[in-house]
Amino acid sequence: MSALDLDDIRTNAKTLLDIDDDLFISSTQQIALANIANREVYKMICRAAPDMFLTVNTHTWPSGTESLDITTVLSAEPYQIISIMETPNSGAISDSNRPWNWNPMDYRDRARWSYGSTRNRLDSDNERKYNTRYSLQGNLLFATPIPTSERFLHISWIPQVTALGDPPNHEVLDGKAEQFGDAVCYRLAVLMNSKQEHQNGSVDNLWFEAQQQIKALSRRQIQRSPRVRSRGRY
């Protein structure tokens, strides 16, 4: 199955709504609505089955460094960080290079976790290494406690979805989760339908069915991954 692109979903949405031209809803408006639809479906799939958009980067965290710019670490702005794992040595995860997790935490809890209560205080270097936590504040990724040696990380994350029209005819959902390309079309049709005086109720039914199919993806997952987002990005 090939992924649908911007022209595909615009053409299909207009067909569903019996629209023959771009006079009532201009091409500029259609592209703006297509991007809204694309983002909505992307986020729905991320909630139900984030592995569909997952990518993994490796990075060496420098000793004595409290925070790094996540856009520099990943060479892109993330939509979600799914997990951060550390390995004792650089290189791929393997039986001889087994990982452990950095657990997510709220940015406001950093001081208490590192130096606050007796229960949370980490006294030995080994405890500090194996109990590192991370938080994301804006574009800054913080490590708590501050690492006292190099750390070899494997970061699983989901990128922001690329805007449709950049480049032209960019595929919906970044060319992934191809079975849900029609869902973007149906959502676009609903948004375009709302601008019409005489609305077509059938597109609402198609969009509802598509939403149910996306939500059903979550039942295939045995365990949900913790997620940390930068504030203000949803």
pLDDT at 117 over 70: no
- Provide, rounded to the nearest whole percent, the portion of the chain with pLDDT above 90: 71
Mean pLDDT in residue range 175-181: 95
pLDDT at 228 over 50: no
In the prediction, which pLDDT does 113 show? 72
Q: Note whether 42 and 34 are within 8 A (CB).
A: no
Radius of gyration, CA atoms only, the chain: 22
pLDDT at 229 over 70: no
In the prediction, which pLDDT does 127 show? 62
- Provide, rounded to the nearest whole percent, the portion of the chain with pLDDT above 70: 85
Q: Indicate the domain borders of the chain.
A: 6-50+162-220, 54-159
In the prediction, which pLDDT does 77 show? 93
Mean pLDDT in residue range 78-100: 96
Please tell me whether the peptide bond between 145 and the residue prior to it is cis, using omega within 30 degrees of 0: yes
pLDDT at 193 over 60: yes
In the prediction, which pLDDT does 121 show? 53
pLDDT at 110 over 90: no
In the prediction, which pLDDT does 195 show? 83
The values of phi and psi at residue 172, to 5°, are -65, 155
Q: How confident is the model over 16-59, as pLDDT tens digits? A: 999 988 888 999 999 999 999 999 999 999 999 999 999 999 99
Q: For residue 134, what pLDDT band results from cuts at 50, 70 and 90?
A: very high
- Using the CB atoms, write b or e for 116-133: b if 16+ within 10 Å: eeeeeebeeeeebbeebb
Mean pLDDT in residue range 150-155: 97
